[in-house]
Amino acid sequence: MSRREEVSSQIPFAINGLDQSDDLSIKPSIIQRLYGGAVDHQSIDTWRAHVGGGTQSTEVFTNNEGDEAFKITDYTGLRFVGASGAHDFKIEVKGDRVVFSSEKNQISKSYVHFDDIVGGLTLDVNPTGNEKATPKAGQFKESAASQTADVPSAAESYPVTPAPEIKGSEWKFPSNEPFSLLQNTNLYFKSDIYQLVSGSYVKISSGLSLYYGKLGGFYSLTGNPGQLYKPGLTTLKIVDGFGTATAEVDFDYDERAREVTATVRGHLGFSVCDFRRVEDFMLFPNTLCIAL
């Protein structure tokens, strides 16, 4: 926790006002994500007393894939004002990164399991900041059908896991094992990929991160549960939806050895793109971690 944090411009922020007894006006207004059925967004100019959380940003756009997504593109100053005083934050844009800072209010990062993958920020608007001694990772909320989990809040958290010292740019595993994903942003797939949903592999074109990061799922490159990968070399192409980040991952299926070698061929714009073993609400032994 500090008074200055730098993150991707697509990362959302929560607001911690649990100990704040005043309703706070917000200038300028901010954008809040709504989850009642279809995902929607609304502009808000008031933060109610004793409320914490939410999924917010200062700007929302329709991205290249037709989805509404957060992305901060312009400098702004945020001011939360109540009867007890004002809480000021400055947001500076540096390319595809943004710097949040405040002279007196605390700003904290939350993480998606690992300490090198930021899921969100929390802006503290309480009369006094709630100090925490250690970094936190988001608490996952599971989906039984797809065996994935979102981080619904940047405030509800538990101790973070250190990132491995050696990153898995090449990863070998048995060909009867699917792979999984850990992400902090929307991902769009430009080649065939299938997700296990309610016992069947279903073709998908995207994996949306609508809260503060996402983990899990079981994926293959075919719709055939008896053969998850195509023989030989197949390349999975991934983009972020705003044209700022791309990645290519090769899956080389050796039929004779019944083994897959997954190799990160290259990535641009993503700060993390490697394979890791993840054990959280369940075990995901072959997880492609990809994050801004």
Q: Please, are residues 259 and 174 in contact by the beta-carbon 8 Å criterion?
A: yes
Confidence of residue 139 (pLDDT cuts 50, 70, 90): low
Question: 100: which 2 tokens?
Answer: 């949040």
Tens of pLDDT along 176-225? Answer: 999 999 999 999 999 999 999 999 999 999 999 999 999 999 999 999 99
- 120 neighbors 108 (Cβ within 8 angstroms): no
Structure confidence at residue 38 (pLDDT) = 78
For the chain, the maximum distance between any two Cα atoms, rounded to a whole number of angstroms, is: 72
Q: How far apart are CA 40 and CA 34, in angstroms?
A: 5
Which pairing describes strands 68-70 and 206-207: parallel, antiparallel, or unpaired?
A: unpaired
User: Within 13 Å and on the Cβ side, how many CA atoms surround 176?
Assistant: 3
Per-residue DSSP letters for 104-154? SS-EEEEESSBTTSEEEEEEE-SSS----SS-EEEPPEEETTTTEEE---S
Four-residue CA torsion sign, 274, 280, 281, 283: positive
Condensed to tens digits (0 to 9), the pLDDT of residues 87-138 reads 999 999 999 999 999 999 999 999 999 999 999 999 999 986 444 434 555 5
Strands (E), 221-282: 232-239, 246-254, 259-268, 272-279
Q: What is the pLDDT of residue 144?
A: 54
Measured at the alpha carbon of residue 187, what is the angle toward residues 185 and 190, in degrees to the nearest 5?
A: 160
Residue 135: per-residue pLDDT: 53
